[in-house]
Amino acid sequence: MSLTLVILLVALALLAIYAIAVYNALVRLKHQVAKNWSNIDVVLKQRHDELPKLVSVCRQYMRYEQETLQRVVEARGAVFAARERGDLRQLGTAETALRAGLGQLLAIAESYPELQADRAFRDLGARITQLEDTIADRRELYNESVNLLNVRLAQFPDLLIARRLGFTPASLLEFSEARADVDLDALFG
């Protein structure tokens, strides 16, 4: 066997080993993204189940706030539909609307002392706040794993192998956060 043939076989073997390593890393990242999405989905389902209870408790006290309650119910439905379709862009939009509706609902609830005193309302509010915090944490982990996958898919020479094997970038899960200026007069007044 000639030296040239040995060098060529060694080079091909190293190239094959590298391609296998890249493939395995991409598969691992792809499954990490899927796992992190599944973790978000579990919490979204839990919150989806809690919101009707909160709306029901609020309806007992809020006779004149039906429009706000309806907005929360509609946003909940939009989140559920987007989640079921796996449409992350629409989910982000629906989540933004739901968060705005919940914020408005909780702000209005402060005008109802008997509602504030209701133990079920307090418990549900605390549970939903806990779920919101969990969603934020899991969304951060999901977006980090998406970022790792997408960077790997864009790096040379990995992108050559990824494209040939049909790997595609994943979408970030983004919610538009309401950013309001802090009212300093209210804080220090």
Q: Give the start-to-end residue ranges of the domains of the chain.
A: 11-173
pTM here? Answer: 0.77
Distance between CA atoms of residues 22 and 185, nearest Å:
56
Q: What's the pLDDT band for 187 if we cut at 50, 70, 90?
A: very low
CATH number among 1.10.3720.10, 3.40.1350.10, 3.30.413.10, 1.20.1440.20, domain 11-173: 1.20.1440.20
36, 173 contact by CB (below 8 A): no
The two tokens of residue 47 are 């919150």
The string of pLDDT tens digits covering residues 30-89 is 999 999 999 999 999 999 999 988 888 888 887 777 888 888 899 999 999 998 888 888
